[in-house]
Amino acid sequence: MSTDHTPVEALTDREAAKELLRLAGLIKHHDQLYYARSAPEIEDAAYDALRLRNLAIEARFPSLKRADSPSDRVGAAPADGFAKVRHSRPMLSLGNAFDADDVEEFLARVRRFLGLAETEDIAVIAEPKIDGLSLALRYEDGRLVQAATRGDGAEGEDITANALTLKDIPARIAGAPPVLEVRGEVYMSHSAFARLNERRATADQPLYVNPRNAASGSLRQLDTRITAERELGFFAYSLGEVSAPIAETHSGLLAQLGEWGLPINPLSRVCGSLDELLATYADFLQQRASLDYDIDGVVYKVDRTDWQERLGQVSRAPRWAIAHKFPAEQAETILEQIDIQVGRTGALTPVARLAPVFVGGVTVTNATLHNEDEIARKDVRVGDTVVIQRAGDVIPQVVRAVLEKRPADSQPYAFPHRCPVCDSEAVRPEGEVIRRCTGGLICSAQAVERLKHFVSRNAFDIEGMGTKRIEELWADEIVRSPADIFRLKDRRADLVQRERWGSQSVVNLLAAIEDRRTWPLERFIFALGIRQIGQATAKLLARAYGSLDGLIEAVTAARDSESEAYADLINIDQMGKDVAADLIAFFAEAHNREVVADLAQFLTLEAPEAVQQSPVSGKTVVFTGTLERMTRAEAKARAESLGAKVAGSVSKKTDYVVAGADAGSKAKKAADLGLAILTEDEWLAKIGQEA
Ligand SMILES: [Zn+2]
């Protein structure tokens, strides 16, 4: 039966899924006509109705929201790769200044060009130069219609859908001129970068080298869900095409962009003289180490917009701006040794041991060499003098070997083909960058790493079970599998006897272990340390199967790739065939099933709570004004029980504003932002409590 006229409230799950599929296709079709060929088939109002219906269904059935949901994008998505975009005005690069003389010369050139007296001060704004990727955001009638990467400056890639997943980038701007192209920098903070690499390490995926690479890789994902979870930030710093002038100064422009909801770097300041510019440079350089994002210099821009226009550009750089670069945080030292670490899944990772060297504000003794191919590509050898580079909190890396200083008797580094711990063969399947120990159960390095993972913070979080203790208990054959941890209570007397353990710390440890006898299923699944099963996937599996027995039964049935169980498994959100294969392989191994069963007898595993399904789950609501049918506290509690988030102030993230009597400024702001404003009765009707 056709579902296209069924009210959203009356749809069943199955019908809703079908309807979302139909709407996704239909909206995409109209988008393509509109954006790609400028030949719309339907009125704007009819088009808006399709989008609203899609949103309403998604609100009622959040779990059915599609990966290609039209609510996540604007404009036509290219079928493969990204469409090319020609920039309305080229995205220029900046000339460089390396010292004070260069900056002085820049100011002198500006004066000469504008015919100013040498005594006349020029207001120049100094902005930190963010080390990220340039992005151009085009708003038409206040709506984001296109986001494009810099590309070669003339032509970039259309990444609109991805840009819309950044919380720093508003989809709409109230009060913008008809055409407004904002340019700025997308970056990844150090903390987000650390979290991302931690997740990747857990899932046994290759790590990103630095935040800029990570930001670039994250922004240019064909699957926008991946971009969305990468926590990218954005700073606006200039304009492309605009239909009307915005401000008389660059500082005024930034202030206006800030008012429109675009993030502006808070460090930028207007300077009146060369000395002030250089003092600002020194200040930013000093702050650099404590910022949560990478900056690699300071950009100086003539503040007056009319002067910028007069100055124009020479070749591909503006005359009114220059980048004053920071010295690189690099240093030379001796590579004393290359150690190979063995991870929980047997991955062999090379680590450079260095003669201590001071770089970027800290003493460095270790650096990453990434992998076998990187060592070969750079031809880094033990005994070499190497260049080390460090940026912010990022793990230092070996940039290159200084060949002039290479000892005469040096030998190319031979990456081991056997595990340095258990001596099993280490193999590298074709097409992979990681070489792995094949020792499996006999490899103590893997076993110890698996136990460390099992007790780690996001898994069983057992306090008092540190690396040293695990290694000790493993070596003495007291703890060989996770279940042995729960058997420690029978060995209290042994433990107290151990050197440096002490009876109180044993009491504390055993209490911490007992405290974990009841534990969430998702953390149990994560704790097993199965390849590619990170926290997010573990959670999805726990939700999908509800119990350990349910999971094992389903995964066992899924060994047959023709089965329904297999189809169900790979259909779980974000679960690809690769991940499913690792999961199936883990439970296909008899030993692993024994270890899991042995462990499970000690535990009560809690199934995840069902997600509350309501028309407002996942939505952000703001209550304002005097409510008449309920108190503010009651309204908040009820909304939260239905899965909504209640916020104190209106922002572009707000979904609904519920306005009581005398609603005032919040309601006004909501109207300016074009948000849905509901009366108290409309709200009650929406959440199914008749007025
Ligand atoms: Zn091994």
Please write the tens of the pLDDT for every residue from 238-278.
Answer: 999 999 999 999 999 999 999 999 999 999 999 999 999 99
**Res 77 pLDDT > 70:** no
Q: Where on the phi/psi map is residue 261: left (φ > 0), alpha (ψ -120 to 50), or beta?
A: left
* 329 contacts 321 by C-beta, under 8 angstroms: no
* 303 contacts 270 by C-beta, under 8 angstroms: yes
Residue with tokens 């917009």: 305
Cα 416 to ligand 1 centre (Å): 12
Cα 444 to ligand 1 centre (Å): 7
* 187 contacts 235 by C-beta, under 8 angstroms: yes
Task: Give the helix ranges, DSSP H, for 168-296.
Answer: 190-202, 211-219, 224-228, 250-259, 274-287
Cα 340 to ligand 1 centre (Å): 11
Neighbours of ion ligand 1 (CB under 5 A): 419, 421-422, 424, 437, 439, 443
Cα 203 to ligand 1 centre (Å): 19
**Res 4 pLDDT > 90:** no
- Three-state DSSP at 67 gives coil
Q: CA 532, CA 575: separation in Å to the nearest integer?
A: 10
Residue 81: predicted pLDDT: 66
- Three-state DSSP at 367 gives strand
Q: Biggest alpha carbon distance in the chain?
A: 89
**Res 36 pLDDT > 70:** no
Pick from 236, 235, 253, 192: nearest CA to 217: 192
* 163 contacts 147 by C-beta, under 8 angstroms: yes
Residue 445: Cβ within 10 Å count: 20
Q: Which of 19-23, 579-583, 638-642, 675-679 has the lowest mean pLDDT?
A: 638-642
Q: Where on the phi/psi map is residue 149: left (φ > 0), alpha (ψ -120 to 50), or beta?
A: beta
Domains of the chain are 8-72 (1.10.287.610), 95-325 (3.30.470.30), 330-405 (2.40.50.140), 443-516 (1.10.150.20), 520-606 (1.10.150.20), 620-686 (3.40.50.10190)
Residue 127: predicted pLDDT: 97
Residue 673: predicted pLDDT: 85
Q: CA 358, CA 104: separation in Å to the nearest integer?
A: 31
Q: Where on the phi/psi map is residue 574: left (φ > 0), alpha (ψ -120 to 50), or beta?
A: left
**Tens digits of per-residue pLDDT, 564-614?**
889 888 877 657 788 899 999 999 989 899 999 999 999 999 987 755 567
- Three-state DSSP at 608 gives coil
Residue with tokens 């859908």: 161
Residue 628: predicted pLDDT: 81
Q: Which of 456-470, 499-513, 616-630 has the lowest mean pLDDT?
A: 616-630
For 553, the token pair is 């039964």
Pick from 551, 547, 535, 544: nearest CA to 571: 544
**Tens digits of per-residue pLDDT, 383-424?**
999 999 875 445 788 989 999 999 999 999 999 999 999 999
Residues with Cβ within 8 Å of residue 519, at least 6 apart in sequence: 460, 603, 604, 605, 606
Cα 84 to ligand 1 centre (Å): 48
- Does the active-site annotation cover 129? yes
Cα 350 to ligand 1 centre (Å): 14
Higher pLDDT, 605 or 636: 605
DSSP 8-class letter at 32: I
Give Cα separations from 216 to 55, 72, 210, 278, 398 (angstroms): 30, 20, 10, 31, 21
The beta-strand segments (E) located in 141-267 are 143-149, 155-157, 179-188, 232-242
For 626, the token pair is 């005097």
**Res 550 pLDDT > 80:** yes
Cα 375 to ligand 1 centre (Å): 21
Residue 34 CA to its chain's centroid (Å): 32
Q: What's the average model confidence in pLDDT over 79-85?
A: 68
b/e burial code for range 71-86 (CB count within 10 A of at least 16 → b): bbbbbbbeeeebbebe
**Mean pLDDT over the full length of the chain:** 86
- Three-state DSSP at 155 gives strand
Q: What's the average model confidence in pLDDT over 425-447?
A: 89
* 230 contacts 159 by C-beta, under 8 angstroms: no
pLDDT classification of 313: cutoffs 50, 70, 90? confident
Residue 79: predicted pLDDT: 32
Which residue among the candidates 18, 65, 84, 129 is catalytic per the annotation? 129
Residue 629: Cβ within 10 Å count: 13
313: phi then psi, degrees, rounded to nearest 5:
-135, 155
For 664, how many CA atoms within 13 A lie in the half-sphere containing its CB? 7
Q: What DSSP string describes 217-232?
A: HHHT-SSHHHHHTT-E
* 74 contacts 26 by C-beta, under 8 angstroms: no
Residues with Cβ within 8 Å of residue 3, at least 6 apart in sequence: 11, 15, 18, 19, 22
- Three-state DSSP at 358 gives strand
Cα 439 to ligand 1 centre (Å): 5
pLDDT classification of 3: cutoffs 50, 70, 90? low
For 166, how many CA atoms within 13 A lie in the half-sphere containing its CB? 26
Q: What's the average model confidence in pLDDT over 283-297?
A: 89
Cα 521 to ligand 1 centre (Å): 30
Cα 443 to ligand 1 centre (Å): 4
Q: What's the average model confidence in pLDDT over 338-363?
A: 87
* 235 contacts 292 by C-beta, under 8 angstroms: no
The 8 Å CB, 24+ separation contacts for 428-436 are 428/372, 433/206, 433/371, 433/372, 433/373, 434/206, 434/347, 434/348, 434/371, 435/347, 435/348, 435/372, 436/345, 436/346, 436/347, 436/348
Q: CA 473, CA 490: separation in Å to the nearest integer?
A: 14
Q: What is the helix (H) or strand (E) element at residue 125, kind and residue range?
A: strand 124-130
* 332 contacts 357 by C-beta, under 8 angstroms: yes
**Res 47 pLDDT > 80:** no
Q: CA 595, CA 609: separation in Å to the nearest integer?
A: 27
Q: CA 60, CA 65: separation in Å to the nearest integer?
A: 10
Cα 68 to ligand 1 centre (Å): 43
Q: What's the average model confidence in pLDDT over 500-505?
A: 86
Q: What's the average model confidence in pLDDT over 458-485?
A: 92
Cα 345 to ligand 1 centre (Å): 10
Pick from 505, 549, 528: nearest CA to 592: 528
Name the residue type at position 116.
L
Cα 419 to ligand 1 centre (Å): 5
Cα 422 to ligand 1 centre (Å): 4
Share of the chain above pLDDT 90, in %: 45
Residue 247: predicted pLDDT: 94
DSSP 8-class letter at 63: G
Pairing of strands 95-97, 321-325: parallel
Cα 64 to ligand 1 centre (Å): 44
Cα 449 to ligand 1 centre (Å): 11
Residue 262: Cβ within 10 Å count: 20
> Residues for the chain: how many in total?
691
Cα-Cα-Cα-Cα torsion 510, 515, 516, 521, nearest 10 degrees, comes to: 170
* 398 contacts 369 by C-beta, under 8 angstroms: yes
Angle, helices 577-588 vs 590-600, to 10°: value is 80
For 247, the token pair is 């401000």
- Three-state DSSP at 152 gives coil
Pick from 250, 300, 307, 312: nearest CA to 273: 300
* 372 contacts 415 by C-beta, under 8 angstroms: yes
Residue 106: predicted pLDDT: 94
* 216 contacts 419 by C-beta, under 8 angstroms: no
pLDDT classification of 59: cutoffs 50, 70, 90? confident
Query: Cβ-count burial of 119 within 10 angstroms (0-12 exposed, 13-18 middle, 19+ buried)?
Result: exposed
For 289, the token pair is 């180490």
